[in-house]
Amino acid sequence: MWAKKREVMNAHSIISKSVIYLAPLQGFTDYSFRQAFCTLFEVPDLAFSPFIETHKPDHRAYRDVLPDRNKGISLVPQVLGNNADEIKQVTLHINELGYTQVNWNLGCPYPMVTKKHLGAGLLPYPQQIDTVLNELYKDTTLQLSIKMRLGLTSPDDWKALVPVFNRYPLTEVIIHGRTASQMFNGEVNESGFLDMISQLVHPACYNGNINSLDNFLSLSQRMPFVSRWMIGRGLIANPLLINEIKTNNKATPQEIKTAINRLHDQLLYQNSIHLSGDSHLMHKVKPYWEYFAKSLPDCNKGLKKIRKASTFSAYINACKEVLG
Ligand SMILES: Cc1cc2nc3c(=O)[nH]c(=O)nc-3n(C[C@H](O)[C@H](O)[C@H](O)COP(=O)(O)O)c2cc1C
């Protein structure tokens, strides 16, 4: 079955281009980031919002996905929940906002989430997932996709889930090839990903540690039948990565540094629209340096100053020192 599927998909991949999705990163890829990024760089084919909790959401939960904050971006709102009625309520509202697709988070690895059987905490419970999908598909008009990990603590949880998923018309399944116990580090389990998609009837999207053009090319050579790729941290570290992938042309370290400089300026601008005070602004933008730093290997002294900056002016001076 696998060989047959590979043959068909190989032929398909020859004529189709890779599509690149912006991953949801709570605290990072919110509407301000998406606006900043898409104003400056190659726009992702699809962006996924950080999750909206379906348990008692209030109007603030939807702020990030309001259409007028996401102009020019194809956005898929993501939900985190385990109760069909609650998920339905939220997807109804998302639908009213004009969206036709919603993504269900089965990947969040944080113990305070998983212990409530949410996110990746649902992965060992195929029956509960089946019940939710069954209820959702009774009357939802929205298209549904899933973003998941291979398992909670076992890399084999997916095996009992594929027969469940295959019974429903999911738009696609985005697979981060780690267990929740691995959090965001360590090896991505490529063979687990490949085994899973060989049994899945839905289109699959690869996610996890795509950090450079070389890395992308070697992955796509190993998986020529995969055409959907989701990137998170790699796009913050190198905002030119989508452009590199689409043109097969590597940016220079100086070009990447300039891109980070422009993105940082835009992040300051976009966030200044809704945050009050320099201190709030600094605390919002500072965490991005964890990822920017990956592309700035020779700037340790300046990066340390950025981390330590306690006033906005010290912060901006340190940023100037690093970015020139
Ligand atoms: C700080 C942080 C926040 C995240 N928030 C979400 C989220 O809200 N929803 C989700 O599905 N995944 C979330 N993720 C996981 C990412 O979408 C992605 O699966 C993971 O970072 C691996 O992809 P990457 O190596 O390209 O970053 C988060 C990851 C990080 C590091």
Average pLDDT, the chain: 94
- pLDDT of 2 reads 43
76 pLDDT higher than 60: yes
Q: Is the pLDDT assigned to residue 265 strictly greater than 90?
A: yes
For residues 7 and 207, give the distance between their C-alpha atoms in angstroms, rounded to a whole number.
22
Q: Which of 20, 26, 75, 286 to mutate to test the pocket of ligand 1 (most atoms within 8 A of CB)?
A: 26
pLDDT of residue 304 exceeding 70: yes
**Can you give the pLDDT at residue 59?**
84
pLDDT of residue 162 exceeding 90, the answer is: yes
Ligand 1 atom with minimal separation from the 210 CA = 26
Distance 8 CA to ligand 1 centre (A): 31
φ/ψ of residue 311, rounded to 5: -120, 160
Q: What percentage of the chain has pLDDT greater than the value 90?
A: 91
126 vs 138: CA distance, rounded Å: 18
In this predicted structure, the answer to whether residue 14 has a pLDDT above a threshold of 60 is: no
Q: With cut-offs at 50, 70 and 90, classify the pLDDT of residue 141.
A: confident
Q: Which residues contact 173 (CB under 8 A, 6 or more apart)?
A: 145, 146, 147, 148, 165, 200, 202, 203, 204, 205
Average pLDDT over residues 78-104: 96
End-to-end CA distance of the chain: 55
**Are the CB atoms for 179 and 152 separated by under 8 Å?**
yes
Q: How far is CA 241 from CA 87, 245, 251, 255, in A?
A: 34, 6, 8, 11
Q: Distance, CA 7 to ligand 1 centroid (Å)?
A: 31
The answer to whether the beta carbons of residues 211 and 233 sit under 8 Å apart is yes
Instruction: Kindly report whether the global pTM for this prediction surpasses the value 0.75.
Output: yes
Residues 43 and 47: their CA atoms lie apart, in Å, by: 9
Question: What is the CA(79)–ligand 1 centre distance, in A?
Answer: 14
Lowest mean pLDDT among 8-22, 208-222, 269-283: 8-22
Say if residue 321 is exposed, middle or buried (CB neighbours under 10 Å; 0-12, 13-18, 19+): middle
